[in-house]
Chains A and B, each alone.
Chain A
Amino acid sequence: MSVLHFAILLPLLAAPFIPFLFKGMKQIHTGWFVLVVPVVLVSYFAGFIPVTSAGDVVTETIAWMPSLGINFTAYVDGLSLLFALLITGIGALVVLYSIYYLDKDKESLGHFYVYLLMFMSAMLGVVLSDNMIVMYMFWELTSISSFLLIGYWYEKERSRYGAQKSMLLTVFGGLSMLGGIVLLESMVGSYSIRDMVANSGVIAESPFFLVAMILILLGAFTKSAQFPFHIWLPDAMEAPTPVSAYLHSATMVKAGLYLVARMSPVFQESPVWLWTIAAVGMFTMFWGSFNAVKQTDLKGILAFSTVSQLGLIMSLLGLGAAALHYDGIDDNIFIVATIAAIFHLINHATFKGSLFMMAGIVDHETGTRDIRKLGGLMTVMPITFTIAVIGSLSMAGLPPFNGFLSKEMFLKATTKVFSADFFALETIGILLPVVAFLGSVFTFIYSIMLFTRTFMGEAKFDQLPKKPHEAPIGMLISPVILALLVVGLGFFPNVLSNTLIKPAVESIYPTLVAQGQNVKVDIYFWHGLTPELYMTIGVILLGSLLFWQMNKWMGIYNRIPHRLTLNGVYDGTLVWSNKAAYRFKDNYMTGFIRSYLIYIFVFLSGMMLFSIWWFDMYQFSFENMAEIAPYEYVLGAVVILAALAILFMKSRLPSIILLGVVGYGVALFFVFFGAPDLALTQLVIETVSVALFLLVFYHMPDISKKETRMRFKVGNAIVAVLVGVTVTLLSFMALTHKSLSSISEYHIENVYDLAAGKNMVNVILVDFRGFDTLFEIVVLGIAALGIYTMIKFRTTRRTKGDGANEAKQQTRQ
């Protein structure tokens, strides 16, 4: 248990104390105690920056299940560290924000912080685990804690719906990912990610390469809300705003991006990897931004915006894979894509976190998040307005903020694809910059919309639930810090270049680094008159035009009927599968014992007959069979006739008598077969049985009045004949295939010498195989006790006949 492991598990270890602090220290907001954890962690992880900048890694291992190759290996390199700092840094700010956002008297803070700490540990575990099974465990823990946090206000129906939706989709992806992990392990023989990277050649040649890749990507796409799995994210906005800021903008939704970046060295040789990720990411970017424009809820806009930005980063990670197909790293244009991805990932966490907190403040101070009701808050909430402007403009990719830098690099990466001459990049690649341009236009529109609709325009304060005023200073600390980061990184991006971005990018290209090449990260504003600069100008012009004429084209959003939207498909699938399952169940679970017996009999006979036919077992040979005496024919005829006659009896009494006839006939057969003990037992038992039958029959007097002959049912008859034939064939086969001699020779020889008895059957029953007899006695005892209990033990005294009604009356009273 190293310090690193302790750091990963620290939030989890702290979680059990939270409810006690919440209950015991009522006067202090629980968040203050919680705040210690991320602050300690962020300072601890900051200590690793010099290590990773130097290109070193830190590895610590705890043996967990060594026999299965599952050990808790914590592995810190540039990529992990970047994420760990994001998680703990943003975590600290979000906890600080939540202290002012959540009321300590109205909310159950104990729950909230326990879930949040659980999530923090899980997320740290995901990014710092080298072992994929351990990573998967933490991955699912993030799903669970996210589910709990989204459903935090569980009395709201929409919260429960959103929580369920996110759970279903992310767990579906998580399970797919587990399948991919298992496949990869079967190729490499180890769950360690570093071993997989080292053996990426083996993986590339495996026939399951594609399947494993798709499964892993399903996990990443569902978690990172890529098209078409993005639908859970807008519904997850029912969570408290700190949760949306933390989970659904900065950390959890980036787990998928982390996975893609982490698995890049394993898969990136394949063109399918590049195209899948780039295409899905690019389309997600466009679709998210396109849909963000029609939202009327602040958090709804931000949710779709998050989807769009995640798609952007995803597509950059995909394009970065092309870098491997160049020898040199110096003039390698695709490295830019990966650098842009990492840089934008950091930027997105800063501006999106601040925007979510801004939305939370607006909601908190006005009582609504609906942009149709909001407006003119600029004068009342100047600080919040400033935060909103900085965040929005950075999101739109305008100078001088950090979003501009990463957006420029993004456009650069997309326009550079034509210089490649592989993977059909030079032909189909034309779509990439076009889609990127369109997505950027819509991004521009909703970013402008975000702060103009909320803070500018006419004030409608009288329609708001609360009288708006500036937020308390504590609530503003976190968004202000984030906004300062946005501006600061805009002006001094190279602070991060060598400390965080470079090591992170190098962990994505281990093969290039192994050749002794270094990634050069240099981010600056002015590149000269490049295509991406013209594209940015185009985005601004076209975006402004569309924003100005917004009312004229908003109609296109209503073209698609609800049933065909992705949400409609999701809801329809749930409803339909539920209905289908019910229909299926109602079709075969009829509640009649007859149906179930028919299934069993038909299946049994079908299996038997099929096996007989399949294995050619219908060649019977009847040699050395016993002779049949004439009286045995007669007896056999009597048994057969008696059995058949039961079927045609109208009354049950003759049926019982005929059953007795069959039993006695069987006893006589036992006599002919030389089994005196059996015959004796059979006679006695049959007599007692018939007596019992008669007793029961006697106690059902009303039955005899209603008695009818059994109605002939063709279905039953067919099943009966089928089973009869099967059993007969089975008996024939058992006669034919005599392979081994009986062990009874032993019993016959030793019955007197070993067991001092002459009656072999009895000696077998009590000596050679005494255990059978013991438990047969137990069975009889249990049956006797059961019968006694059934007759004596009655919870409800009832008169005969109207028991059900009386029971109902008793429950009513």
Chain B
Amino acid sequence: MEIFVSIIIGVLTMCAVYLVLSRSLLRIIIGTALFSHAAHLLVLTTAGLKTGAAPVLVDGVTEYTDPLPQALVLTAIVISFGVTAFFLVLAYRTYQELSTDNMEEMKGTESYD
């Protein structure tokens, strides 16, 4: 299972990198979102995906999945959502101001003098 998920993580990262390297701002943000999915899966996977009960205390159950990485990932999900939302609005405002979402056209719009 872990190997399979690792491969999924690798594919997600690959797609994310390819998207982040593209010209369109929206695609870059999609890439970052994919990145965060890959990272969350990675944190969960590397802690081990031993099958056990969900980490809610129930009498008589001894095997639980590891709760700590889940807590970490939960925090990470919320933070990456905050950043993605900010990023999206930034892209929207950028488009309003510069009327483009092509990164290459944005080069040199700030003046150095």
Contacts and interface: CB of A to CB of B under 8 A. Distances in A.
Interface of A: 591-594, 597-598, 601, 622, 625-628, 632-633, 636, 639-640, 643-644, 646-647, 652, 655-656, 659, 662-663, 666, 669-670, 673-678, 681-682, 685, 688-689, 692-693, 695-697, 699-700, 702-703, 710, 713, 716-717, 719-721, 723-725, 727-728, 730-732, 734-735, 738, 742-744, 747-748, 751-752, 758-761, 764-765, 769, 772-773, 776, 779-780, 782-784, 786-787, 790-791, 798, 800-804
Contacts of B99: 702, 800-803
Contacts of A669: 5, 41
Contacts of B1: 625-628, 632
A776 B83 contact: no
Nearest to B65: A674
Contact of A685 (B27, B55, B77): B77
Contacts of B72: 772
Contacts of A742: 47-48, 66, 68
Question: What 9 A-B pairs have minimum CB-CB distances, sorted nearest first?
Answer: A724-B14, A728-B10, A760-B67, A783-B82, A734-B46, A731-B6, A626-B1, A758-B57, A760-B55
A697 B26 contact: yes
Interface in B79-102: 79, 81-86, 88-93, 95-99, 101
Contacts of B52: 674
B92 to A, nearest CB: 5
B34 A681 contact: no
14 contacts: A626-B48, A626-B50, A640-B8, A652-B27, A655-B27, A666-B40, A689-B85, A696-B88, A724-B11, A731-B42, A744-B67, A747-B68, A776-B78, A776-B79
Contacts of B67: 744, 747-748, 760-761, 764
Interface in B24-75: 24, 26-30, 33-34, 37-38, 40-42, 44-58, 64-68, 70-75
A756 to B, nearest CB: 11
B102 to A, nearest CB: 9
Contacts of B66: 742, 744
Contacts of A758: 56-58
Contacts of B45: 731, 734-735
Contact of B74 (A636, A674, A677, A782): A677
Contact of A643 (B15, B50, B98): B15
Given A592-B107, A636-B4, A773-B75, A647 B19 contact: yes
Nearest to B1: A626
Contacts of B64: 674, 748, 760
B24 to A, nearest CB: 7
A696 B38 contact: no
Given A678-B73, A761-B67, A765-B74, A786 B103 contact: no
B107 to A, nearest CB: 4
A293 to B, nearest CB: 49
> Which one of B4, B24, B51, B96 has the highest number of Cβ atoms from chain A below 10 Å of its Cβ?
B96
A673 B9 contact: no
Given A643-B12, A696-B26, A597 B74 contact: no
Nearest to B26: A652
A723 B13 contact: yes
Contacts of B54: 674-676
> Which one of B67, B86, B99 has the highest number of Cβ atoms from chain A below 10 Å of its Cβ?
B67
Contact of B34 (A627, A643, A752, A804): A643
Contacts of A593: 28, 103
Contacts of B11: 640, 643-644, 724
A514 B69 CA distance: 75
Contact of B17 (A681, A719, A782): A719
A591 B97 contact: no
A678 B74 contact: yes
Given A591-B107, A628-B1, A681-B74, A761 B81 contact: no
Contacts of B91: 696
Contacts of A643: 11-12, 15, 34
Given A636-B8, A666-B40, A742-B47, 14 more contacts: A626-B50, A627-B51, A646-B19, A666-B41, A675-B65, A685-B78, A689-B81, A696-B89, A716-B22, A724-B11, A727-B10, A742-B48, A764-B71, A787-B86
> Which one of B42, B82, B86, B108 has the highest number of Cβ atoms from chain A below 10 Å of its Cβ?
B82
B104 A592 contact: yes
A639 B12 contact: yes
A373 B54 CA distance: 100
A728 B47 contact: no
B75 A776 contact: yes
B34 to A, nearest CB: 6
Given A640-B11, A723-B14, A764-B71, A673 B44 contact: yes
A112 B77 CA distance: 65
Contacts of A677: 70, 74
B98 A803 contact: yes
B4 A731 contact: no
A646 B98 CA distance: 26
Given A592-B103, A678-B77, A721-B14, A662 B34 contact: yes
A743 B68 contact: yes
Contacts of B17: 601, 716, 719-720, 723-724
Contacts of A594: 21-23, 103
A597 B6 contact: no
